[in-house]
Structure 1
Amino acid sequence: MSTPPQKRVYPKLPVWIVEDHHEVVQHIYRAIGSKHIPMKDIKMVHLDSHPDLLIPVNMPADTVYDKETLLSELSIENWIMPMVYAGHISHVAWLHPYWAQQIKEGEHSMCVGRDSSTTTIRVTSRDDYFLSDALYVPLDQLENPKKLHLDVIRVDPANCLQKKKDKNGQSGAKIPKAAVKEDCDVLFKKDTPCTSSSQPLDGSTASGDVIDTVMKADVGSTSYITDKLLAVIEQTDPFILDIDLDFFSCKNPFKEMFTQEEYDLLQELYSFSRPPQDPTEEELSDCVERRTHQLEDLEAAFADLVEDDGQETVERLAANPRMKSLIRLVHSLKNRTQSPDYEMVHQAGLTCDFSELPHHISSEEEIQQMITAVQLFLEALPKPTIVTISRSSLDEYCPAEQVDSIQNSVLDILESLFGCLDVHREYESISSESTSQTP
């Protein structure tokens, strides 16, 4: 009778810090290769103001079996799902701050597979987040489907930091765990609207006022978060703790690139028309087809504008009834800059579908309250196998003036909870390479 292989354990908890979030994938793959985390059924706790659960729209599904090509195809919003399709990740807990709610609160179960008609990766979830990117297909259209369990869990700030700071003269990250827990367990902000909805495993909204009311009572609290996480992560489970520093303070960088009028025009052009409530498969198919054509038309239009943004081109494009806002948008952009970056305009437009990107620049007190909240629920979890951290500061999702202090606070709580860390600041080597190449 053979004994199961011993689980490999790092001497110190490795913490990989990168700039752009998709750069963590290579470090996750390295941990898989060294057998510190398993090849399949990996669980990930993902703290972020954004779900990062989109899919590279035109990437062939089989790209996941060519690591180097895959890494070159990934971006900050779509790095998780290819690992799901590859069979590595099976559970994701997306922990989001109260200001970010792109996917409905609760439990979702979906399949991620190869679309038999396009050979790209697609998903069976009917949530607006996926429908608005035209990523939905029915299960019978998927080849090699992989199950993904997704828990969407709101985190509210712990409302006790200032009290402890006044008493102890130290930051929340340095407060002894027992002292923090004593004052913070039930002191959470209740002044933000609760948008939770309990969801059954098929990803559809659950009915039943009793369940919904019970969930709303303490959504965002430490007990709510730990109950959700410990239902998935057992004490002996290897898991990835993944943190985007924009979880603590988040900008929508596109808001500073455009005037309010331009942003409103982008929302008109890219607005997503939802299917009816409780849609049939035919209605879902129509919704996805309509959205696909809309996004393809917009991509083609802005590609044309890159080549020629003269009046004749703009008027030709605006002849499409869905493009009538284009004339005003182009005129406004050209009044402000001689050569608008139309590729960037299109990328900004893609974020203007059913909701805006989160935008909440936190005060120092708010940041520390969120740091304390994270410390409280991490205290209840087993030690992660690996920690990945994204700074997200160069693209301005995390304010550049706050990112270093947030990072230091996060490292402080990780060290206080899990002991010595093996910290790899990968963003520094990339920055050094860029500097050395500057003429």
Structure 2
Amino acid sequence: MKRSYSKIPVWIVEDHHEVVQHIYRAIGSRHIPMKEVKMVHLDSHPDLLIPVSMSAHTVFDKEALFSELSIENWIMPMVYAGHVSHVAWLHPYWAQQIREGEHEMCVGRDASTNTIRVTSTDDYFLSDALYVPAEQLRDGKPFRLSVIRVDPVQTAKDEDQLNTAKKSKPDPEPVCSGSCAGVSRAADGSSGTSETASTEKSSASAVGSLLSVLKPDDPYILDIDLDFFSCKNPFKEMYTQEEYSILQELYSFERPREDADEETLCECVERRTRQLEDLEAVFAELLEDDGELTVERLADKHGMKSLVKLICSLKSRNESPDYEMVHQAGLTCDYSELPHHVSSEAEIQQLMLAVRFVLQPLPKPTLITMSRSSLDDYCPPGQVESIQSSVLNLLEALFGSVELHKEYEEASGENALQSS
């Protein structure tokens, strides 16, 4: 029999994969079901990758699983384990890693490698070589993914400022260069939000999508990454533009045609797997020896021509580059860059209002998990406290008093004791 919390617990962690232990605890205490849990996931990143070489059986060893997870791959193992069946990824306009709409796929064990794989052919999964045909999967679990864009909503103050500007300029210029009052630019240069009507339509569409999934009595997890409101690509600050461009070239993903058949898709995955394994091996060797002869020998390999220029640039700034981190950076810039959009305070508040409009009609969540993502700079450290405070105020306004657990404070305290 399902149990109920007297107050909705809110678990706040620093790194996003740390929420899994709290989800498992809620399953163990029977507050959320063992199977087919739904999750509303607000984030600038999908977090739907899979630990590439992890044995599928690891999901049934809790401690081993926790040690394998990372910030980008913590959801899909729970899908394969049968716990999560549907994720609604709510993303801001600057995050475009997976195409909008409904995605249905199977998540299971690859019969040939015993790793977790998916049947989705979206670039997000293909570029990490995670696709396999359905007949190659064992113990498959059906999984539905709803990708829903949430646009900032103009406040009354924004509209007043816009109206004042219009009245003071009876003959406005037909084209606005840069950023106009109350208008957010999308990644493609178009308006992310412009008039109130379009933002209301966007919010209504998001609500409609969610209400088609969540029934009044459905237990579900509300998961929020604070980088939903303001987001950085930390690798942009670690590497120069030239270095980043070389990484994009080295790790570039050759998309298959949209109408590609199964054989072509499998060839694409096989080719991509070899490419990523070769790159991992190259940077592992550079950790041992990055002398001139080694670099030149590695650069002779197929697709590695630009390696010499990259290593020269890295070593000009740091005698001992962190090649493991370089490889991790490369993995993020294959078919699209990581999202990077540091929001103004006004835009953060517009997004808060949008989230309020989207969540208000929904049933109360059973469990709320939250990630700060600030120590790794995905959420700008200078904004994280303010964003967190605003989100907590929003949650209490929507759902009443909550039971707050600031897990990240306990973790930082333990780390301080260990280092002293």
TM-score, length basis structure 1: 0.87
* Contact 2:152–2:199, Cα closer than 8 Å, also in 1: no
Which residue of the other structure, out of 125, 128, 140, is the alignment partner of 1:130?
Answer: 125
* Contact 1:17–1:389, Cα closer than 8 Å, also in 2: yes
In the TM superposition, what is the alpha-carbon distance from 1:53 to its structure 2 partner?
A: 0.1
Which residue of the other structure, out of 379, 386, 409, is the alignment partner of 2:360?
Answer: 379
Local SS of the residue matching 2:346 = helix
Which residue of the other structure, out of 260, 269, 287, is the alignment partner of 1:306?
Answer: 287
1:228-267 alignment runs, 5 A limit: 228-267=209-248
Question: Percent of pairs identical after alignment?
Answer: 68
1:118-197 alignment runs, 5 A limit: 118-160=113-155, 162-163=157-158, 192=186
Which residue of the other structure, out of 284, 294, 297, is the alignment partner of 2:275?
Answer: 294
What one-letter code is carried by the residue in structure 1 that aligns with 2:75?
I
What CA distance in whole angstroms lies between the structure 2 residues aligned with 1:25 and 1:395?
19
What CA distance in whole angstroms lies between the structure 1 residues aligned with 2:306 and 2:157?
48
RMSD (Å) for aligned C-alpha atoms: 1.8
Residue deviations 1:355-413, cap 9 Å, x none? 00000000000101001110111111010000000000000000000000000000001
* Contact 1:60–1:121, Cα closer than 8 Å, also in 2: yes
Which residue of the other structure, out of 52, 55, 58, is the alignment partner of 1:57?
Answer: 52
Match of residue 415 from structure 1: 396
1:15-34 alignment runs, 5 A limit: 15-34=10-29
Match of residue 75 from structure 2: 80
Local SS of the residue matching 2:368 = strand
Match of residue 206 from structure 1: none
Match of residue 370 from structure 1: 351
Match of residue 172 from structure 1: none
Which residue of the other structure, out of 110, 116, 119, is the alignment partner of 1:115?
Answer: 110
What CA distance in whole angstroms lies between the structure 1 residues aligned with 2:238 and 2:187?
29
Residue deviations 1:182-215, cap 9 Å, x none? xxxxxx95853789xxxxxxxxxxxxxxxxxxxx
TM-score, length basis structure 2: 0.91
What CA distance in whole angstroms lies between the structure 1 residues aligned with 2:369 and 2:314?
38
Residue deviations 1:234-261, cap 9 Å, x none? 1110000000000000000000000000
Match of residue 257 from structure 2: 276
Local SS of the residue matching 1:403 = helix
Q: What stretches of structure 1 move > 6 A for 4+ residues in a row?
A: 217-220
Match of residue 396 from structure 1: 377
In the TM superposition, what is the alpha-carbon distance from 1:276 to its structure 2 partner?
A: 1.5
In the TM superposition, what is the alpha-carbon distance from 1:9 to its structure 2 partner?
A: 1.0
What one-letter code is carried by the residue in structure 2 that aligns with 1:293?
R
Local SS of the residue matching 1:250 = coil
Match of residue 428 from structure 1: 409
* Contact 1:96–1:152, Cα closer than 8 Å, also in 2: yes
Match of residue 201 from structure 1: none
Residue deviations 1:123-165, cap 9 Å, x none? 0000000000000000000000000000000000011153599
Q: Does residue 42 in structure 1 map to residue 24 in structure 2? A: no
- Return closer, same or farther for 1:189/1:234 CA change in 2, 3 Å cut-off: farther
Local SS of the residue matching 2:218 = coil
- Return closer, same or farther for 1:47/1:78 CA change in 2, 3 Å cut-off: same
What CA distance in whole angstroms lies between the structure 2 residues aligned with 1:334 and 1:226?
50
Local SS of the residue matching 1:221 = helix
What CA distance in whole angstroms lies between the structure 1 residues aligned with 2:277 and 2:74?
22
Match of residue 100 from structure 2: 105
Q: How many residues align?
A: 393
